[in-house]
Amino acid sequence: MGTARMFGPRRVEKPVLQRIAGLNWGIVLANVLLAAAGFAMLYSVAGGTWDPWASRQMFRFGVALVVMLVIAVIDIRYWMAIAYPAWFLGIMLLVAVELVGDTGMGGRRWLDIGFMRLQPSELVKIATVMALARYFHGRNYFQSRSLRSLVVPLLLLIIPFALVVRQPDLGTALMIVVGGVAVMFLAGVPAWLFIVSGVAITAAIPVAWQFLRDYQRDRILTFINPESDPLGAGYQIAQSKIAIGSGGTTGKGFMEGTQSHLNFLPEMKTDFIFTALVEEFGLMGAAIVLALYGIVLGYGLLMGIGCRNQFGRLLASGLAVSLFLYVLINVGMVMGLLPVVGVPLPLISYGGSAMLTWMVAYGLILSVSTHRHVTIAPKGSGII
């Protein structure tokens, strides 16, 4: 298939410097501010030292920021061209995790690539949204509503879901599905299919319960009644609520959090970093951080709505929903509103995989923004 047929009429591309200048630097700054909040909190929970967490996080963010900007200025039609190969590469990485992955925290989820431990399931979230966006780009509204046209999208979702569940990492697996379902809904898949699927899943919960691991059952039971085992399974949620409540309106002050500095909070540098932030900066600090997330994610949805081509529209919207799930699940988790599933808070929690996923995803959103007026032929999704 030739380039002209794949991408439509040839356009004269803007110079790279012009595309860089055309980026929304206010949104880039919002991402930098979120990362800076993370650096400050990692400095704090380490007891007032940059090592071992804050300095490494700053280095990772510097690399990830460059990656995001490079992705942002590359033609969106290139990202559409590699959507299927990216998904296939992600599946191969998940298979590699199954065969030679590192084990930790009760699961086999990471690949050691030297300078960092990569969690492929994080990047598969992006690849799945890309592949689904490319698939539905080549179909009109009526084709998207056909049951026969759902065979390929379901395979694009079920295969990574099954591989991630085996690690086991049910939280990430569900995030992959929800991000993919958002793309399918926006593409025009009939709403009644989602309703029927939701009813079927609800009815299957008693059966699925039998297949959950003991720690997964404990997390759900603890979520329902955390006070039932305050010194065991419910300990981290109980301590998190104490820390959040003690922060009050303005917080105890930077590096003055007792729950975190006296080591009452488990996983305070990763899953429960937001708890430490609220304890030290209170409701006002939490509101500022959540407002920054709202601005960044809202911009992603707006770029999806305003994009001229279907691929970009579905890509930006689907990625914005996927990134929103990170924030929703982590914040809900530490407040006791959702079960503890080990989802980090991107840019603020310590770790490279979630940060890289966020920055790559946002680079793609910025690419959609930069190339939102590009017209891509309806047959641009390729052979499938």
Give the containing element (helix H, strand E) for 266: none
Query: 243 near 276, Cβ under 8 Å?
Result: yes
CB neighbours of residue 333 within 10 Å: 26
Query: Which two tokens mark 221?
Result: 């039971």
pLDDT in tens, 212-222: 667 667 767 66
Residue 80 to residue 160: CA distance in whole angstroms: 20
**pLDDT score of 368:** 92
Peptide bond into 168 cis (omega under 30): yes
**pLDDT score of 352:** 81
Beta bridge partners of 104: 107
pLDDT in tens, 199-209: 877 777 777 76
Query: 33 near 292, Cβ under 8 Å?
Result: yes
Beta bridge partners of 118: 111
CA distance from start to end of the chain: 12
* Low-confidence residues in the chain, pLDDT < 70: 1-14, 104-106, 114-116, 141, 209, 211-213, 215-216, 219, 221-234, 377-384
How remote is the C-alpha of 295 from its chain's centroid? 16
- Amino acid at residue number 189: V
Quick one: which of 110, 149, 107 has its CA closest to 132? 149
**pLDDT score of 235:** 75
Q: What is the pTM of this model?
A: 0.86
Give the containing element (helix H, strand E) for 246: helix 235-247
How remote is the C-alpha of 126 from its chain's centroid? 8
- Amino acid at residue number 140: N
Interior angle at CA 359, CA 334 and CA 351, nearest 5: 50
Cα within 13 Å of Cα(229), Cβ side = 11
**pLDDT score of 8:** 45
287: phi then psi, degrees, rounded to nearest 5: -65, -40
80: phi then psi, degrees, rounded to nearest 5: -70, -35
